[in-house]
Amino acid sequence: MPTVTVSSKGQIVIPLDLRKELGLKEGELLDVAAREDGLILTRVGSHPSHRGWRSWSGKLSGSNALDEHRKEHRKEARR
């Protein structure tokens, strides 16, 4: 069983072999639950609403949605 160290910020690193085995990717969300003898990490559901803004990565590729948003923001800022 791998051993990890808790940093001064409370962070841990999941060993690479476990990340590969579980298919964990950068930015993926995990729920944390406390148990009497430790912690349980569980992958958050695969529904896009559970993954937050990262789930939109690449979805609007080729569109001008960001430019339109910036133009609208500039209009509102001038008012």
Residue 22 forms part of a structural domain = yes
Per the document, the length of the chain is 79
- Structure tokens that stand for 77 in this block: 């800022």
Number of domains in the chain: 1
Per-residue pLDDT reduced to its tens digit, 39-67:
999 888 755 555 565 556 666 666 777 78
Print the domain residue range for 65. 16-78
C-alpha span between 50 and 47 (Å, rounded): 6
Residue 63 forms part of a structural domain = yes
Residue 3 forms part of a structural domain = no
pLDDT at 28: 87
pLDDT at 53: 59
Per-residue pLDDT reduced to its tens digit, 13-37:
999 999 999 999 888 888 899 999 9
Terminus-to-terminus CA distance in the chain, angstroms?
Answer: 60
Residue 66 forms part of a structural domain = yes
pLDDT at 11: 94
Residue 10 carries which DSSP code? S
Alpha helices, H only, 23-64:
48-51
Residue 9 forms part of a structural domain = no
| 10: pLDDT strictly greater than 90 | yes
